[in-house]
Structure 1
Amino acid sequence: MPILSKATKGAILSAPHLKTETVDVPEWGDGVAVIVSEMSGLARDAYYAKHKADDKDVPISAVQADLLLVTVVDESGTQVLDESDIEALRAQGSAALDRVADAAMRINGMKPGAVEGAAKNSGAATSGASGSDSLPVSGSQ
């Protein structure tokens, strides 16, 4: 196993090493699943900047959709969703949004209630259990 050093840092830092998890979403169709990825530091910064602690009355579905936007990827690790998908995501059933958002929070080490905290005063909350039949966290991409 290479140790980070001046000689190895280029090879180590040149490729992302983000964990992923596959989450089944039966509400979206038979056999439909999404890949949820760990956020890069930059993606996490942007997500939290968008949902500052002082934001009020942000609907939970908007916060969940934003979380999915930065964490749902394809097999190559490329983000699948973009800003134009936010309203369509928000229109999806809450069970599906909860399941995928729960996986995104778990893989990103977000504390329980992090999405609710970002959606402060929304009056809604995600479920406590994901109910996911997701596969174990995979190795790096």
Structure 2
Amino acid sequence: MALLTRQQIESADDLQTQDVDVPEWGGTVRIRPLTGRERDRLESSLMGTNGKVSTSKLALFRARVAAMCMIDEDGERLFGDADVEVLGAKSAAALHRVAEAAQKLSGLSKEDVEDLTGE
């Protein structure tokens, strides 16, 4: 395997999309993986001052992941960070399906999520 150049890495299309059927919402949503920056921001948002996951900060975890990963046809996020509460009021089954697909697409293993959420 050849060594990659900086230009090759920067130009690589590594944010592949996936369509997820969400019957509770009457259709399909398109998701993309978290970027490295987004994953770091998500993980750090869960940490308490002691450097461990704060259970109080776990609220709306699935809604946060879904908001960060659902996109429109142009690749723009459907929901911003301020919309997480709105998503949190939606079907838990629908959010779980979207968040689980986004986690898998983002390379977040079940162990990673368990470490973050304690679930």
Task: Give TM class, smaller chain.
Answer: 0.7 to 0.9
Over the aligned positions, Cα root-mean-square deviation in angstroms equals 2.4
Following the alignment from structure 1 to structure 2, what is the Cα–Cα distance between the partners of residues 91 and 44? 23
1:1-141 equivalences in 2 (<5 Å): 4-5=4-5, 9=7, 13-14=10-11, 16-29=13-26, 32-52=27-47, 53-60=52-59, 62-112=60-110, 114-120=112-118
Question: Between Structure 1 and Structure 2, which shows a larger proportion of helix residues?
Answer: 2
2:29 partner SS: strand
| More displaced stretch, 13-22 vs 111-120 | 111-120
- Whose RCO is larger (CA < 8 A, sep 6+)? 1
Task: Please list every run of 5 or more consecutive structure 2 residues that lacks an aligned counterpart in the other structure.
Answer: none
Following the alignment from structure 1 to structure 2, what is the Cα–Cα distance between the partners of residues 93 and 116? 21
TM-score where L is the length of structure 2 = 0.78
Amino-acid identity (%): 32
Following the alignment from structure 1 to structure 2, what is the Cα–Cα distance between the partners of residues 43 and 14? 19
CA contact under 8 A between 1:68 and 1:101: conserved in structure 2? yes
Change (3 A) 1:99 1:14: same
**Once the 2 structures are TM-superposed, how far is the Cα of residue 37 of structure 1 from its aligned partner?**
0.5
Following the alignment from structure 2 to structure 1, what is the Cα–Cα distance between the partners of residues 101 and 116? 17
1:23 partner SS: strand
1:105 partner SS: helix
Change (3 A) 1:18 1:67: same
Q: Deviations over 1:91-117 (max 9, x none)?
A: 111110110011011101111154454
Alignment size in residue pairs: 114
Q: Deviations over 1:37-58 (max 9, x none)?
A: 1111111111111122431234
1:24 partner SS: strand
TM-score where L is the length of structure 1 = 0.68
1:18 partner SS: coil
CA contact under 8 A between 1:25 and 1:33: conserved in structure 2? yes
The one-letter amino acid paired with 1:42 is: R
Following the alignment from structure 1 to structure 2, what is the Cα–Cα distance between the partners of residues 5 and 112? 32
